[in-house]
Chains A and B, each alone.
Chain A
Amino acid sequence: MPFFLFVLFFLVYPSSTLVIGSFRDQAGHFTFANIVGLDNPYIVGAYSVSIRLSVVTAVGGAIFGFLLAYAAVRGGLPPFVRSGMMTFCGVASNFAGIPLAFAFIATLGRTGMVTQLLASIGLNPYDAGFSLYSFWGLAIVYLYFQFPLMVLIIAPALDGLRREWREAAENLGGNFIDYWRYVAFPILTPSILGTSILLFGNAFGAYATAYALTTGLVSLVTLRIGEQLAGDIGNISQGLGYAMALGMLVIMAVCVTGYTLLQRQSERWLK
């Protein structure tokens, strides 16, 4: 089928070039040197920052997104709140990359509107050590596309919580906390966990937003790969660059597998 050929050619083949390249030395012989060579402060540092950033924004996005989704779906609010929220989230989760970085520079950059507003009441965040172009600045920007994704995925799961389960819990003498602890939360756990993993991968693979904001000041794996592409090899060889990309593929594969398995688990009760 042309479909498989197409995917093979433009997805699998290019990825395999990277995979094979990670096990080759300059002369084209098989070697583990590149994989061993990943243990290099420059690369380990990039992975560590990338992973921490992804964990922070995945957990933050999951918590905030869950609370928002819960408020919109189960909070006893008029129905237009929910449909409005889903539309906003659809837009926000797609609004990323360069324009998102610009929007936040205009907001929380050194001369951004919110920075100026806070400075005018004597609370300039930059005096307190904050910078948009740092780890935490990046985290705030990433959250902008992280929590809407959580809302979009978790809202249908919340819909699936049946009223009967709640009533059954109440009939058996359980209170609100019991219901959440023994019924709702265990049912939702695979969804919440799975979506968090998805958010992790979402942040881990992000490049354009981080590039436009920090131009490499914060060391992320994606930015390091960008440097490789720019021919700005620095102190690492081509094979090592491929190995770095292989590491990303492995982490992303684990994320997508985890998400798929947990989603399947959650379908046991929901839907």
Chain B
Amino acid sequence: MRRGSLWSWLWIMLGIIYFFVPLLASFLFSLKEKLGVLSFVAYENIFKDPNFAKNFSASVLWALSTIVVGVVIFVPTAYWVRLRLPRVRPIVEFVTLLPFVVPAIVLVYGLVATFSRPPLPIVNSPLLLIFGYTIMSMPYMYRAVDTGLRAVDVPVLTEAAQSLGAGWATILLRVVFPNIRTAVLSGSFLTFAIVMGEYTLAQWLAKPAFGPYMNLLGQVKAYEPAACAIISFALTWAAMGIMQFVGRGAPAGAQVAGAH
């Protein structure tokens, strides 16, 4: 073995240790609820907790709604920009980067400050949370869709559809959308992963969600939080795994994200 590759292995091993030790420790820790034996009691407790079901399903609902809103807003925009407004592209790209400038805590601070008083006191509406999540996921969703469109000859497809008598709705739904399905799916799974573990927005907009539930659990229990960490990790892993699976062969989009 060359000296260079020995060094490489060393760094890789360090990376693997950093990555896996916390997971292994959480897993072992989560099995220690019952004194003296390893058991899945902590997981049973969580799954039996009616609050878990309530908050978890709420998060699933937020995630799916966010994906729907995101697709409805970003697919037509990205399509239209590619087709008719190539000059606006840099502006749109700049706008899709804006959410990076506004951290979640500042975004929710602004949302609360803005929408808790007239003219639009909608701070209690679940829609505000969904729209906030749509903003947070915009850089990933928009980019995924745009990358998908890059691989498609948008003008030719559009003209072909039009010459066959299709209207705009038909073009979007039955021509464009099927062609970028993979891209939309990978954007959706990324959004799903972000929303499922999100804490800040749900907490301060006072909505039931998995993140605030986990936080509450962390304050009163010892072993269940570790089990939650494992469940949450499994979710992230599943979302990213499916994303890579459906994205095989497609141009790799940005897959860096996070609601830290």
List chain A positions with a Cβ less than 8 A from chain B.
1-4, 6-7, 9-15, 17-18, 21, 64, 67-68, 70-72, 75-77, 81, 85, 87-88, 90-107, 111-114, 142-145, 147, 149, 152-153, 201-209, 211-212, 222, 225-226, 228-229, 241-242, 245, 248-249, 252-253, 256, 260
Contact = CB atoms under 8 A, between A and B. Distances in A.
B46 interface: no
B121 interface: no
B22 A91 contact: no
Interface in B1-45: 2, 4-5, 7-12, 14-15, 18-19, 21-26, 28-30
A15 B198 CA distance: 20
B53 interface: no
Contact of A209 (B74, B107, B260): B260
Contact of B103 (A87, A147, A242, A252): A252
Contacts of B197: 95-99
A114 B25 contact: yes
B11 A15 contact: no
B199 A98 contact: yes
Q: Which 3 A-B pairs have the closest CB atoms?
A: A75-B8, A205-B103, A14-B110
B111 interface: yes
B107 to A, nearest CB: 7
Contacts, number: 261
21 contacts: A7-B138, A11-B99, A14-B110, A14-B111, A81-B12, A85-B12, A91-B236, A94-B240, A96-B259, A97-B260, A98-B214, A100-B229, A100-B260, A102-B225, A103-B226, A103-B233, A106-B30, A106-B225, A106-B229, A112-B25, A229-B108
A133 to B, nearest CB: 13
B173 interface: no
A84 to B, nearest CB: 9
Given A3-B92, A76-B5, A90 B98 contact: no
B113 A205 contact: no
Q: Label chain B's interface by main secondary structure.
A: helix
Interface of B: 2, 4-5, 7-12, 14-15, 18-19, 21-26, 28-30, 73-74, 76-77, 80, 92, 95, 97-115, 128, 131-132, 134-135, 138, 190, 193-194, 197-200, 204, 211, 214-215, 218, 222, 225-226, 228-229, 232-233, 236-237, 239-241, 244, 255-260
A145 B260 contact: yes
Interface of A is mostly: helix
Given A17-B113, A85-B15, 16 more contacts: A1-B77, A3-B74, A10-B111, A15-B106, A15-B110, A17-B110, A64-B15, A72-B12, A77-B5, A87-B241, A97-B258, A98-B199, A102-B229, A113-B28, A149-B256, A256-B101
A245 B194 CA distance: 23
Most chain B beta-carbon contacts within 10 A, residue among A18, A94, A211:
A94
B258 A6 contact: no
Contact of A10 (B2, B131, B211): B131
Contacts of A105: 218, 225-226
A178 to B, nearest CB: 17
Contact of B26 (A85, A107, A201): A107
A120 to B, nearest CB: 14
Given A7-B135, A71-B12, A253-B101, A103 B25 contact: yes
